[in-house]
Amino acid sequence: MTDRTPMRAISRRATLVAALAMPAVARAQGDVWPSRPVRFIVPYAPGGGTDVTTRLIAEGMTNKFGKQFVVENRAGANGIVGTQVVSRAEPDGYTFGAQTSTHIMARRLGPLPYDPVTDFTPISLMARYPLVMMASARAPFTDIAGLIAEAKKQPGGMAQGTSDAQSSFAARQFARAAGIEINEVPYRGSGAYLADLSAGHLPVAWGSPATAAPMAASGQVKLIGVSSPERSPFLPNVPTITESGVTGADFIGWFGLFGPARLPRPIAVALNTAINEYIVTPAMQARYATLANEFSPMDLDQLMALMRADDERWARAQAEGLIERQP
């Protein structure tokens, strides 16, 4: 008997069958991932907070999945070189990139060869941390109230050291919220300003808890405030800036892991879940404590919401003159 089914109907039926089969194929692909080594690209030199945190995560993922998760440092152009590699990678689950909270801010600082929101898939918020206000042990004040009083005696005569875009933002935001004139002195890294701070040539500087705590322990600096809404569990005796009477100066930095855009969701979910479970283990929490890293687990949708909120925040900050495009 001759099959008189129209070819168009056959084509529609084949398309429907293929469409129904796609979720099963996606699940099958997700089940076998990873089948080979995975790269975690850190767009900065070895040894920094982003690098150390990412290496801890890579070690745990290697043990979890039974495949090597290899950290590759691709420094250059303030993180742009390595980040561009991730943005252009195949979305197959074998290339990811570590970032800091300056990832979203970067579009306000100058032109980028990628979009920091739409060209990436957020995977994990690996850690969060506040910034710390450090005062030289030789400064004539011991708290934020004293700093403000001193700054008002000599408008524009005091200085505060910063070492990157996020500390620059925090410093400017604080000065505006406190209603004082204090000059920002940018340094190339925290190591560069620590000598001036300990010698008393610089009265105030901003850094991470991991940078600030050893300096305070040695007696070279006084820790006078943290930028988080609540006190840091690693610096419980240091008041928040808000506690000290200055509102509107909160800031929380983060380390995050991203994949390229269009990464299959099953892979993103698998890696997000594995990292969240790994970080809360007692052994990992103990290692995080040595870095003063705090952990706030988020799922993929929460992470994307955080990225978009950050983008809006930096747009407002630029409009208010708190961050500036660089030449």
Same fold for the domain at 31-129+253-319 and the one at 132-226?
Answer: yes
* pLDDT tens string 256-281: 999 999 999 999 999 999 999 999 99
Cα 207-199-50 angle, rounded to 5 deg: 20
Torsions phi, psi for 42 (to 5 deg): -105, 120
Question: Under a CB-based contact definition with an 8 Å cutoff, are residues 141 and 147 in contact?
Answer: yes
Question: Whole-model pTM?
Answer: 0.81
Mean residue pLDDT across the chain: 88
- List CB contacts of 136: < 8 A, sequence separation 6 or more: 197, 198, 199, 200, 202, 203, 204, 220, 221, 222
CATH code for the part of the protein at 132-226: 3.40.190.10
For the chain, what are the domain ranges? Answer: 31-129+253-319, 132-226
Express each pLDDT in 19-70 by its tens digit: 333 333 334 344 589 999 999 999 988 888 889 999 999 999 999 999 999 9
Residue pLDDT, tens place only, 183-227: 999 987 777 888 899 899 999 999 888 888 888 888 889 999 999
CATH top class, domain 31-129+253-319: alpha beta
pLDDT per residue as tens digits for the range 110-132: 999 999 999 999 999 999 999 99
